[in-house]
Amino acid sequence: MMLLRLSLLALLALTPAASAQESLRIAAVVNDEAISFRDLEARLRVVLVSSNVGDTPENRRRAASQVLRQLIDERLQLQEGKRLNIDATEAEIQEAFRRIEEQSNLPPGGLEEEIKRHDVSRPSMVEQIRSSIVWQKLVRRQAASQVQVGDDEIDEIFASFQRTRDLPELRISEILLTVDRPDREPEVRRFAEQLVEQARGGAEFVSLARQFSEAASAAAGGEIGWVLPTQLDEAIEREVSKAQPGTIVGPIRTVAGFHVIRLADRRMMQQAGAEEAVLNLRQAVIPIAGTTEEEARQRAATVASSKTCPDFEKAAEEAKALRPYSLGRLKIGELNAAVRPLVAPLEAGKTSAPTRVTEVVVVFMVCDRTQPETGMPKREEIREQLFRGKLSIVARRYLRDLRRAAHLDLRT
């Protein structure tokens, strides 16, 4: 690797006349497939431009080793896809372009314009996207029989939310750089430090994650979403707990490798109370004056037997109830203290028991009920988070095995 770095430095110092000839040289051979210095130069351009990092000799020198390793991994992934007859379709590649535009706040077709404007190699970008799609398919196929998320795991997460309801939720994005060999640890750490420096200096975190992260979240620009601190690795939790929203944290060493974390936001979990529920209410107010309480209750009971709101209004009319029949949409907390306990327990389509209030007998019906949103995630969201975490582990093991089995020749 030291000879490789020296060779890369020499490449960056070449004169234009010598550069064309030198770029045809082979930088690495991956199971008899060559990666040329031209391939490396093209990808460096893609990486630096898309990450909003200046395309300077210094930045190329910093990124060269990691980008070459990335190209090697892509070749391994595509070779494995070819072996198992798995490839990316043109429609999938176009969809990936669309997602990148969405993440980068570009209009439809904007990515193609950016490629032309910055003189970026489109074939190199497409090759990167193709390998990413193929790799996702391979990993999911590999994980199909290995990765299961049980209801008991989801139940445990929900229980954790209840136990830690007073803790803030964190919205985070990540970049993971794995350490596949102990001798590479200093090199990976230095590159992680460079990513932290670039992210703090204005480089787009989403693009850095998409280009360099080895986590399953890379395709989403590193976005993990809202999590509790207790769901994070202890080392990450310690560092993130001290950070302010909008800051970059890291690099943080865990068993998986080095993490660079962006803390996007922090919030307290919303515990929506019952009084926040919104009810679409109907009422029948039947006066006792001019009749007996018993007769008023009988008329109210007839109204209370209604099954739908139109039936309720018709029955209220026949029972000579006072208008208006509709109270509209109201939060439970906005109701009169005497009325609140009568309607709070009612589900949609249900009526209250006839109840005397001062000189009238009243019946209420809930036409529909809207529960407020809470900070609690849905079960499917938790299932997807757990699945992605397990998928990331499978992907790292899979790639590690491909690396170990491959014949790699790094040329000087």
Could you read off the pLDDT of 15-68 as tens digits, one per residue? 344 444 555 688 889 998 898 888 888 888 888 887 777 778 887 887 888 888
* pLDDT attached to residue 374: 55
> Of 24-28, 51-55, 358-362, 376-380, where does mean pLDDT reach its minimum?
376-380
pLDDT higher at 364 or 8? 364
Neighbours of 377 (CB within 10 A): 21
- The CATH number for 2-140, chosen from 2.60.40.10, 1.10.4030.10, 3.30.910.20, 1.10.3720.10, is 1.10.4030.10
Average pLDDT rounded to a whole number, residues 294-314:
91
pLDDT in tens, 333-346: 777 777 888 888 88
At 169, give phi and psi (nearest 5°).
-85, 150
Residue 84 has pLDDT above 90, yes or no: yes
DSSP-derived 3-state class of residue 267: strand
pLDDT more than 90, % of the chain? 20
Q: Hey, do 170-267 and 274-370 end up sharing a CATH topology, with the first three levels equal?
A: yes
Q: What are the structural domain ranges in the chain?
A: 2-140, 170-267, 274-370
Alpha-carbon dihedral of residues 183, 391, 137, 127, nearest 10 degrees? -40
- Binned at pLDDT 50, 70 and 90, residue 163 comes out as low
- Binned at pLDDT 50, 70 and 90, residue 305 comes out as very high
pLDDT higher at 17 or 367? 367
* H-helix segments, 279-378: 293-304, 309-318, 340-343
Name the CATH topology of 274-370: Chitinase A; domain 3 (3.10.50)
Neighbours of 354 (CB within 10 A): 20
Residue 77 has pLDDT above 90, yes or no: yes
Residue in this structure with the two tokens 């060999």, named with its chain if needed: 181
pLDDT in tens, 243-252: 888 899 989 9
Peptide bond preceding 287: is omega within 30 degrees of 0, i.e. cis?
Answer: no
CA–CA–CA angle 188, 194, 198 (5° rounding):
145
Average pLDDT rounded to a whole number, residues 311-321:
91
- Cβ-based neighbours of 355, under 8 Å, separated by 6 or more: 342, 361, 362, 363
Whether the CB-CB separation of 180 and 258 falls below 8 Å is answered with: no
pLDDT higher at 159 or 296? 296
Element (H, E) at 356: strand 355-357
Name the CATH topology of 170-267: Chitinase A; domain 3 (3.10.50)
Q: Where are the beta strands (DSSP E) in 201-274?
A: 223-227, 247-253, 257-268
d(CA 57, CA 59): 6
Whether the CB-CB separation of 131 and 30 falls below 8 Å is answered with: no
Distances (CA, A) of 311 to 308, 318, 320, 349, 370: 5, 11, 14, 11, 21
d(CA 53, CA 58): 11
pLDDT more than 70, % of the chain? 88
Whole-structure pTM over 0.85, yes or no? no
Neighbours of 386 (CB within 10 A): 19
Buried b (16+ CB within 10 A) or exposed e, 30-56: beeeebbbbbbbbbbbbbbbbbbbeee
Residue 1 has pLDDT above 50, yes or no: no
- Residue 326's DSSP bridge partners are 282
Both tokens of 200, joined, read 């703090």
Element (H, E) at 412: none
Average pLDDT rounded to a whole number, residues 68-93:
92
pLDDT in tens, 258-283: 999 999 888 776 544 556 778 898 99
- Binned at pLDDT 50, 70 and 90, residue 82 comes out as very high
